[in-house]
Structure 1
Amino acid sequence: MSLDIIRSDLLDGVPHGFFTRKGGASSGVFEGLNCGFGSSDQRDIVAINRARAAAAMEVTPENLCSVFQVHSADVVTIDAPQTGDIPHADALVTATKGLALVILTADCQPVLFADRTNGVIGAAHAGWRGAIDGVLENTVAAMVALGAERGNITAVIGPCISQRAYEVGPEFLDDFLAAGDTNARFFTNGEGDRYLFDLPAFGLNALREAGVGACEWSRHCTYHDAARFYSYRRSVHRKEADYGRLLSGIRL
């Protein structure tokens, strides 16, 4: 089966892709292109999946640069293929040709960035915690430090959980209101004391406030499309033992 890769016109001319779960070697609950070594999937099978993604991006697996994601706002700058332990962070930036920046998600926002004019790219993993703490703004700032210009940066949020699937409790809303009263606009009422949170709208707002020239969400919901996407929340609701991780990447 061939790979199913979602691309954006906003990043046209920059090799990139939001890979779906189709076309992989994994089976069971991981069926498809599970690229997460942190899952309980067989490591050699995950390596095969990552090699397929690398080939699609026209780099070697060794040039897939990643981070040990911890739901932080931390960003690292990459200028060479990684060896040894990878850094704990949730975003990467580079101005080095031939390197692919990749992040893994399963409901959180995968965000790819590019300043074509100045030759700087970035990739971020932005769940609610990283997003509220500023991982997207920090990624833009790290790109600027490498020579990018905010107005030249385009950013695309790939498949993630949509508002209709993201039910949260009142304490979750309180965290966002504590960060800013205007954050109430990203919530609608759910059943009882529950709310529905619009993660991609929050991400788009953060990107616009960071001054990027253009941004968009792919409008694919990971929770509601089990055939194409892994979803942590869906796996919990189904009482599955584990879940796969989707890879998103970009390179110069």
Structure 2
Amino acid sequence: MTLELLKADNLGAVQHGFFTRKGGASSGIFAGLNCGVGSSDQTEIVAINRARVAGAMNVDAGALAGVHQHHSADVVTVAAPSNERPKADAMVSNTQGIALGILTADCQPVLFADTKAGVIGAAHAGWKGALDGVLARTVDAMVALGAERSNISAAIGPCISQRAYEVGPEFFEDFVAQDPEFSRFFANGQEDRMQFNLPGFGLHMLREAGVQNAEWIGHCTYDDEARFYSYRRTTHRGEADYGRLISVIRL
């Protein structure tokens, strides 16, 4: 099956893709393009999937950079191919031929580009990373490489939608404790539960960081099982593990 990658109009001609689960070699609960090296899927199958992604991005498998994601606001600069996966949740680069790949399964994959300066970025932004400032820190790291905030475009890929993202009162309190205005990203749910607008919050944080050209390309990972993996869907079903989607950008 052919790989399926979704594009963001506002990233223009820069080579990028939010890959769906279609076209991969994994089977069972991971069926499709599982690129999660931290999953319990077969290591060699994940390597095949990642090699297919690298091929689709016209780079060698070794040039597909990744990080050991841990829901932080940590950002690393990638200058050359490496087998290392430093602990971080975002990457930036100004090196031709390097592809930055972020893994998600409900969290926001965010791809950045300043085509004039030749600087790109990729971030994994779940609720914690987004609240802690991973998106602003990615922009700061791009600026350190020569990007201009006014020239940076950012696109949020498929992630969990507000309708599917039920949270408890403690979650809501964490947000409004930081800024009471953040209450606008929540809607009332059943009883004391609320529905959180993750991509809406991501767009807000991007604009606060000076990125005015930002968009969410849509698509709810929870609702569309044929195309996307979802941590929350897996949790609701009591399954043992879940696949990870990959989103990639390169110069």
Query: Any idea what the Cα deviations from partners look like across 1:16-54, whole Å, max 9, x if unmatched?
Result: 000000000000000000000111100000000000000
Aligned residue identity for 2:200:
A
Residue of structure 1 in register with 2:70 after alignment: 70
Separation in 2, partners of 1:56, 1:234: 28
Structure 2: 5+ residue stretches without partners = none
Deviation of the 1:12 alpha carbon: 1.5
TM-score between the two structures when normalised by the length of structure 1: 0.99
CA distance in 2, matches of 1:231, 1:61: 25
Aligned to 2:135: 136
Taking only aligned residues, the RMSD between alpha carbons, in angstroms, comes to 0.6
Per-residue CA distance 1:160-187 (angstroms, 9 max, x = gap): 0000000000000000011100000000
Contact 2:90 2:122 in 1 (8 A): yes
Shift of 1:212: 1.1
Other structure's SS at 1:121 match: strand
- In the alignment, the residues of structure 2 paired with residue 134 and residue 161 of structure 1 have an alpha-carbon distance, to the nearest angstrom, of 19
Tell me if 1:195 matches 2:172. Answer: no
Q: Describe how 1:87-236 pairs up with structure 2 within 5 A.
A: 87-236=86-235
| Structure 2 counterpart of 1:24 | 24
SS in 2 for 1:235: helix
1:105-140 alpha-carbon deviations (Å, 9 max, x no partner): 000000000000000000000000000000000000
Shift of residue 213 of structure 1? 3.5
**Identical pairs, percent:** 68
Instruction: Please identify runs of 4+ aligned residues in structure 1 that moved more than 2 A.
Output: none
Which stretch shifts more, 210-219 or 16-25? 210-219
Pairs aligned (count): 251
Aligned-partner Cα distance in 2 for 1:114–1:195: 34
Q: Where does structure 1 lack aligned partners over 5 or more consecutive residues?
A: none
Opposite residue 10 of structure 1, the aligned amino acid is N
Q: 1:72 Cα shift?
A: 0.2
Which position in structure 2 is the counterpart of 1:81?
A: 81
Assess if the C-alpha contact under 8 Å between 2:75 and 2:91 holds in 1. yes
For the pair 1:7 / 2:10, whether they are aligned, the reply is no
Deviation at 1:11, TM superposition (A): 1.1
Please, what TM-score do these two structures have when normalized by structure 2? 0.99
1:112 partner SS: strand
Letter aligned with residue 129 of structure 2: G
Distance 2:192 2:153 in 1: 37
CA distance in 1, matches of 2:153, 2:94: 15
Structure 2 residue matching 1:81: 3-state secondary structure:
coil
Matched residue, 2:236: 237
Query: Residue type of the partner of 2:110?
Result: V
